[in-house]
Structure 1
Amino acid sequence: MNCPLISLKAGAVIFTVLWTAWMMWWSGAYSTANLVILAVCGAAVGYVWYRAMRWQFERMGMLPHKDDRSAQ
């Protein structure tokens, strides 16, 4: 695993935490069910964000394509 992927994963984790905290603050309800639902949704949003950014960075040439990595 190279440094750009580590940075991208760290960015996805930070994005997930910030998005989940923002949604909890915005909803104003701090029940257990709401916290669990928002945590699960936050994880899904963070994963989708990571995949979208990875696809975009590969498309822009900032990361090697999947086919290029398998040839190494």
Structure 2
Amino acid sequence: MAWQTPIIVHPPAPDGGRRVTVRGEAVGVARDDRDLAEFLRRAGLGDADMALDDPHLVEWRGGGPHMWAADS
């Protein structure tokens, strides 16, 4: 099995927000960095807000880091 980042932030939805997957499990839709950090904290990843830009931990698909709307 190929190596994968543990956190995937999926492309922005047309109505805003981005689906988040942690270790292959859907954890919710984040609408900002605080939502994302909270999902990661609940998944047991402490101090996750400090690692949101780390490409080894977070894969931002279909939009750059910290972009939460489809038209950002």
Shorter-normalised TM range: under 0.3
Comparing both structures, which one devotes a greater share of its residues to strand? 2
Query: Under a length normalisation based on structure 1, what TM-score does the superposition of the two structures give?
Result: 0.27
Quick one: higher RCO (CA 8 Å, sep 6+), 1 or 2?
2
Greater C-alpha Rg: 1
